A and B are shown apart, each in its own frame.
Chain A
């Protein structure tokens, strides 16, 4: 296939910037004309997927729209109605499907999400903290000048600074950032294990259409996309979820159960996720951490579950196994290839070392952002069928220990062996370790589409 026109695609889609600071601004559009003027002013500053010959820039800027935003920008009805249903409805309306009920229900969300006021997502990523403020102020003044939109909310996020360097840890202590899929045409260091499994055991990139609209997907079709082609092409959909983490509850649970589990606390933590907290994949090294694997891109994502059908190494319900089953369902992984998502999230809130006291009420969590060509077929499916349910993994109604919206009799089963250090162990009495505080579905248009939206020249066939 021909190479992707990277300057037409927003940089946020093509790469995880790995810049340490981020601020997400949420804007409410005032009216269509002034809204378009605002977008026009921002156009030239939006970061595309162009090569960074001179290294990373000081900052990046990207933009995305809810369906309501596009309505408020007066896109033609035919285009508006041609967007996929789930995007039209927005994430709040999909609550039953996503298990955003009870503790995760909209009544518990931050005001900006509860009231559905965020039309536009404007994301700044930067090398320095001060840049967030200067650029933020800059964007504020552009918004005021044009009168196009009001900033109704902001969310800061960023990497933790631990032991003199930037870390990819999150609040539960796990090292994050592994396993984003490879796609055809992307110029990115492919790692074995990231793509799809081939019959001969090798890994190949996924079809571009699993991420980008306008390209063939894994089913050999074009994913459902809005009309006209130019509006959709090179764009993608994003789910944004602010996931509050109950860090105190997690630490307490891990301590308590860690005392009862023969393998010890760290091994127990590894059995929740499917990686040790340093990032070692449990499937490759079930008994001990192994920094050599973590550091080796040829190995740290390169594993399958075919030799571990009983879950004795990586529990069947472990998070990484639930969210990317690889070959665990047989058929050489073919049932998984259309269910992959690209994650771009960052933790928010101050890092609290393990030996320091922490409070569930504190601002600690992850801004979870995932990109996919079809929210319904990819993110929503994984969330509904594999995280909040377990039938495909033959685990009945059991939910993901870390993310699940748990009910009274929920449990996470750790399968074991005869080895006394690796016994079967039931983790019961599961509290909600993660709680949803809001979010929505966004459309990240290509630069061409963005220009059309700004000019008001979207024209459905």
Chain B
């Protein structure tokens, strides 16, 4: 189905923005100002709705006029475009938005026609679905891994690269011990945080060999316990 690709959902919402010619700041400007102040790293509201792979908010001022001989025409309202790519189903995602980041959602969408607010969950979901446009064609390069799986994999990738480098001249016994130690450290590592610009995830996974060489005599024991 058009909005879905594998396990990823592509939601496109166009919310008509209020027009108030008497307001000191127009509604679309207000939205832009609000968005300008919103963090887009791990403090982003979308990091909290952690099933979000990528999301954008765009104030679409008008349609485009491409020049003669095309006709010039204009929209009667501006539209707030919300394009997001997330794991799971639509209802769950919208529910999470209303439940986990209501203040930010209200602050942005309050400038839109007929917006009911996040307090009334059913009304909120109905409103968002009313503004939803069906995606005609959705392409997702990776559509079978959740955000968390992806972040974990990135963390693993960096740790593995370092492990391979640090252990390329070790004996078989040393290697095995080091690997067991490494797996343990990897398992203990805190779950990576979405939205954080960080090389290979948070705290470097320690791949230090010192532990293993000190305990070389115990390697046989370690393997049996695995």
Query: Do A and B touch each other in the complex, judged by CB within 8 A?
Result: yes
Chain A positions near chain B (C-beta within 8 angstroms): 260, 397, 409, 411, 424-426, 428
B22 near A: Cβ within 8 Å?
no
B164 near A: Cβ within 8 Å?
yes
A328 to B115, CA, bound (A): 52
Chain B residues, CB < 8 A from A260: 168-169
| Count of A-B contacts judged by CB separation below 8 Å | 14
Give me the 3 closest cross-chain CB pairs, A-B, nearest first.
A426-B165, A428-B165, A260-B169
Interface residues of B in 107-141 (CB under 8 A from A): none
| Proximity bits, B192-223, A CB within 8 Å = 1, else 0 | 00000001000000000000000000000000
Chain A residues, CB < 8 A from B21: none
Q: Is the CB of A409 within 8 A of B162?
A: yes
Q: List 13 A-B contacts (CB under 8 A).
A: A260-B168, A260-B169, A397-B199, A409-B162, A409-B199, A411-B161, A411-B165, A424-B164, A426-B161, A426-B164, A426-B165, A426-B168, A428-B165
Q: Is the CB of A425 within 8 A of B168?
A: yes
A215 to B165, CA, bound (A): 49
Interface residues of B in 148-188 (CB under 8 A from A): 161-162, 164-165, 168-169
A138 to B165, CA, bound (A): 57
Chain B residues, CB < 8 A from A426: 161, 164-165, 168
**Which label, helix, strand, loop or mixed, suits the secondary structure of the B interface?**
helix
Beyond the given A426-B165, A428-B165, please list 12 additional residue pairs across the A-B interface where CB-CB is below 8 A: A260-B168, A260-B169, A397-B199, A409-B162, A409-B199, A411-B161, A411-B165, A424-B164, A425-B168, A426-B161, A426-B164, A426-B168
A424 to B163, CA, bound (A): 13
Chain A residues, CB < 8 A from B161: 411, 426
B71 to chain A, nearest CB (A): 30
Chain B residues, CB < 8 A from A409: 162, 199
A291 to chain B, nearest CB (A): 32
Closest to A423 in B: B168
Chain A residues, CB < 8 A from B168: 260, 425-426
Interface residues of B in 8-59 (CB under 8 A from A): none
Chain B residues, CB < 8 A from A425: 168
Chain B residues, CB < 8 A from A397: 199
Chain A residues, CB < 8 A from B165: 411, 426, 428
A142 to chain B, nearest CB (A): 54
A103 to B52, CA, bound (A): 39
Closest to B158 in A: A409
A411 to B200, CA, bound (A): 14
Chain A residues, CB < 8 A from B164: 424, 426
A411 to B160, CA, bound (A): 13
Closest to B164 in A: A426
A427 to chain B, nearest CB (A): 9
A397 to B168, CA, bound (A): 22
A424 to B165, CA, bound (A): 10
A64 to chain B, nearest CB (A): 40
A203 to B199, CA, bound (A): 41
A409 to B166, CA, bound (A): 12
Closest to A397 in B: B199
Interface residues of B in 76-105 (CB under 8 A from A): none
A411 to B199, CA, bound (A): 14
Chain A residues, CB < 8 A from B199: 397, 409
A244 to chain B, nearest CB (A): 27
A430 to chain B, nearest CB (A): 11
A409 to B161, CA, bound (A): 10
A425 to B169, CA, bound (A): 10
A79 to B165, CA, bound (A): 54
A425 to B164, CA, bound (A): 9
Closest to B204 in A: A409
A425 to B165, CA, bound (A): 8
A350 to B184, CA, bound (A): 53
A260 to B166, CA, bound (A): 12
Closest to A429 in B: B165
A207 to chain B, nearest CB (A): 30
A397 to B164, CA, bound (A): 17
